[in-house]
Amino acid sequence: MNAKADLKNFTLPELEQFLSGQGKERFRATQIFKWLYQKDARTFSDMTNLSKDLRCELEETAFISNLDATTVEVGRDGTRKYLFTFSDGEAVESVLIPDEGRNTLCISSQVGCAMQCEFCLTGTFKLSRNLTAAEIVNQVCAVRRDAPVTNIVFMGMGEPLHNLENVIRAIRILLDDNGLQFSTRRVTVSTSGLVPEMAELGRAVTVNLAVSLNATTDELRNRIMPINRRYPLATLLKACRDFPLPGRRKITIEYVMLGGVNDSLDDAKRLLRLISDIPNKVNLIPFNEHEGCEFRAPTQAAIDAFHKYLIDRHVTVITRDSRGGDISAACGQLKGKLVKQNRSDHP
């Protein structure tokens, strides 16, 4: 007997196809989609404008997956960190970051990560598996029960473009007018630099792109981000120039500042040269120190000097404030607590 289908793994056209294969009208898919994402139906019995017979038939062939947080930590600044544990025992994190006029939700796309960036805590877990589209979307559904969400960033655990098929499917659900109804301007995908997948993403959906650059020479980027050995800076920056940007949108250049490593004025000068022909805004991210990592946070003087150099040359720069410093704020810290707890419970 075939396993039941998780309806939250379907985009609207895929749901239409699934239902038509069972002899159902196409408009039923729109009804169900709205129940799932606009009314947050968690069971078929919630879908009161479907006939009882149809609901019973759906129960035979499909199910609605749901996600509830295992742990929620709330910081003094309002940052909320969620740990979600799946039925197979694997766990990921999401972070809700409140700001003036917006609530940004940072979601995960993989359990662990294969990119092995030297400064990243998530990479220490290695890659266990990809998340399904349903597992990605359910992070949003779960957090929206707790607080409003205005913006989505794929910057949590995992490399989104390493799980491209499921990420694209999840994005289509996020953007669908009958789904979660997010604007394309309010969904951002961050990548460490998987060049072919960047092009594929741009062809498939319209979203904002953020590129985690973090170094201004191939020598340093090879050391701290092994993906650079496959797609060096020249190749990556060409992919940025070629990425389809609607209107006056810009690519976000993410730059994690590592104390004494990549935070000098010479680095700022090289960064300016590298990105000068790309529509860009720069997001400076002072490194968030974590146990077992050799890197250190930059000094405030280094942050200020780097920021000022770019601002003075008319670059749009945001220096990200450290948020949730009193909770497990860095991506992977909350899961790290769970792993340590499990080890102590099962020595």
96-102 LR contacts (CB < 8 Å, sep 24+): 96/143, 96/146, 96/147, 96/149, 97/323, 97/324, 98/147, 101/150, 102/150, 102/151
Instruction: Copy the structure tokens of residue 267.
Output: 């680095």
Of residues 106, 117, 141, 331, which has the active-site annotation?
331
CA–CA–CA angle 34, 37, 41 (5° rounding): 85
Instruction: Copy the structure tokens of residue 194.
Output: 């998987």
What lies within 8 Å, CB to CB, of 287 at 6+ separation is 119, 256, 257, 258, 259, 295, 296, 297, 298
Residue type, 244: P
DSSP notation for 314-335: T--EEEPPP--TTTT-STTHHH
**φ, ψ dihedrals at 212, nearest 5°:** -85, 95
Residue type, 161: L
The torsion angle over the Cα atoms of residues 209, 215, 217 and 221, rounded to 10 degrees, is -90
Instruction: Copy the structure tokens of residue 96.
Output: 């809700």
Of residues 93, 135, 197, 254, which has the active-site annotation?
93
**φ, ψ dihedrals at 284, nearest 5°:** -85, 130
Exposed e or buried b per residue across 102-111, where buried means at least 16 C-beta atoms within 10 angstroms of its C-beta: ebbbbbbbbb
CA 280 → CA 42, 97, 218, 309, distances in Å? 41, 23, 20, 16
Q: Residue 254 belongs to what H/E stretch?
A: strand 251-257
Distance between CA atoms of 214 and 263, rounded to whole angstroms?
A: 10
Distance between CA atoms of 28 and 10, rounded to whole angstroms?
A: 14
The verdict on whether 331 is a catalytic residue reads yes
Active-site amino acid positions: 93, 331
